[in-house]
Each structure stands twice: as structure tokens, then as C-alpha cells.
Amino acid sequence: MSDFVLRAQNVSAGYGDFQALFSVDFHVSSGEVVALIGANGAGKSTFLKTLARTLPLREGTVEFDGASTVGIAPHQLVGAGLVMVPEGRRLFVGMSVEDNLRVALDRARAISAGARPWTLERLYSLFPILKEKRHQSVERLSGGQQQMVAVGRALMAQPKLLLCDEISLGLAPKVIKEIYDLLPEIRDAGTAVVLVEQDVSLAQKTADRLYCMLEGRIKLTGRSSEISRDEIAAAYFGALHDVG
């Protein structure tokens, strides 16, 4: 038996007549942090949406936790432990920090309360500022604090795999570091992580493995520590970059 938490093979997907993904092979093992990098429009968000089944798979297979995801509704996948932190956070405005976090507990009903790795107490020890602001309405928080709520809400759904779509977007470097520094603790709690990240250095520093996507295809993959910056640049920008 493999220790893949997720395995995608030969995945194609798109929008109407436009094909955005071409034969993508990708896997995440238990306990891994994997980064997906690539230029704007490379297909990273499309791929995450395909994994979360909010966009239909046109070809290929996706297995999560040992079972095919075909025919499984997105909310059922969340219940099974495949949880996305979407680009743009999508918090419930007008609701407090704590109510935003509690909403996700509904999605974790299948797991008995005693068996849940993520509790409000644990989240508050991960993000102490959220404990301080737990009764505040989320729109009164800074961008970084809102992103912490978005990550926290996803964790409260008790994910086996967390898909993070550009969680650093628009945040100050200090705040980005604060959030990224917590990833090892999230991983150690048994949650594998896929990061879509524009900042290549940050992705390489944080992730165990990298995938680099160009125009809907995986151009490069390997252990972060074994891939050179030149290899990444060539895969990121394509053949034109190599000329000269």
C-alpha cells in the first residue's frame, strides 16, 4: 500500500473550449509539504480546483486517501479531509473570528470530537492573535489576520490534505513569514499541505518537493533541495528563456 494522500494521474481540465491542464501527474505523500509554482495563468489554481472537484475532471484520475474522487461532491471531499484555503480568503463577513472558525466544525462531524487533531484551543495556540480578537468581526482584522482565520477555518475542518492557493498574496513579508513558519507544525499534526506560491524562493525554502507548471503542463518536479535555480527558471519561463 502506498502512503500517497493524494495522487493525480494524466489530469486534463479546462473552461468551455479552452483546455487549461494537459496530462498532469502529481502526488502528495502523508506528512509532505509540496509547492506548486509557475507564472500567472500557468494553471495552478485550475489544478487545485480540479482536485477539490469544483471544476470537472475531463480526463485522468484523482485518488484521495486511497479512493477515487469520481462522483464525490466537493462538500463530501471536504468531509473526507480534502480542504482548500481559497485565493481571496472568502471569510464570512459580519461574523466574528470564532464563529468563522466554528462554521468549519460542521464539516468535521464525521470525526468524533475527541479524535479531532484541530480544536479551537490548539488553533489559538498556533495563532494567539486570533484568540485576542476572537469576538471581533473578521472585516475589522488586518489582511494577515484574515488570512490566519482562513487557514484556521480550513484546519478546523480537520484536513488530511490542505490546499493553499496563494496565501501570501498581498501580505507584508513579516506576516508571510509568520504564517509560513507555522507550516511545519501543521504538517506535524498530520496534515499534508499543497502550496500554490508565486514567491519561488519561499516555495523552495518551505516545501519538501516542488512542481513547476507552464501552460497547463508540469515542466519540472523534484525535491526542493535538489533543484537548481536555473532549472526552475527554465521551467518557469519556458524555452524562450533558455535562448541566448
Verify binding: residue 50, ligand ATP, rule CB under 6 A.
no
Distance, in Å, from the CA atom of 197 to the CA atom of 209, rounded to the nearest integer, reads: 13
Distance, in Å, from the CA atom of 126 to the CA atom of 138, rounded to the nearest integer, reads: 18
* Total binding residues toward ligand ATP, as defined by CB under 6 A: 11
Verify binding: residue 44, ligand ATP, rule CB under 6 A.
yes
CB of 145 to ligand ATP, least distance (A): 23
CB of 38 to ligand ATP, least distance (A): 5
> Do residues 40 and 20 touch, judged by C-beta distance below 8 A?
no
Phi, psi of 15 (to 5 degrees): -125, 115
Name the 3-class secondary structure at 125.
Answer: helix
Residue 164: closest CA among 180, 144, 145: 180
* Grid coordinates of 103: 462554521
Verify binding: residue 45, ligand ATP, rule CB under 6 A.
yes
Among residues 15 and 239, whose Cβ is nearest to ligand ATP?
A: 15
Verify binding: residue 15, ligand ATP, rule CB under 6 A.
yes
What are the residues whose beta carbons fall under 8 Å from the beta carbon of 231, sequence distance 6 or more? 220
Verify binding: residue 163, ligand ATP, rule CB under 6 A.
no
CB of 41 to ligand ATP, least distance (A): 4
CB of 230 to ligand ATP, least distance (A): 21
User: Of residues 1, 17, 40, 114, which one binds ligand ATP by CB under 6 A?
Assistant: 40
Distance, in Å, from the CA atom of 232 to the CA atom of 165, rounded to the nearest integer, reads: 20
CB of 101 to ligand ATP, least distance (A): 26
* CA 136-133-180 angle, 5° bins: 125
Candidates 5-13, 35-43, 106-114, 124-132; binding stretch for ligand ATP (CB under 6 A): 35-43
CB of 104 to ligand ATP, least distance (A): 24
User: Of residues 28, 38, 83, 104, which one binds ligand ATP by CB under 6 A?
Assistant: 38
* Grid coordinates of 9: 494521474
User: Of residues 5, 6, 8, 20, which one binds ligand ATP by CB under 6 A?
Assistant: 20
Q: Is the dihedral of CA 180, 186, 188, 191 positive or negative?
A: negative
- State the DSSP H helix or E strand holding residue 45, giving kind and residue range, or none if neither: helix 44-51
Verify binding: residue 243, ligand ATP, rule CB under 6 A.
no
User: Can you give the binding site for ligand ATP, defined by CB under 6 A?
Assistant: 15, 18, 20, 38, 40-46
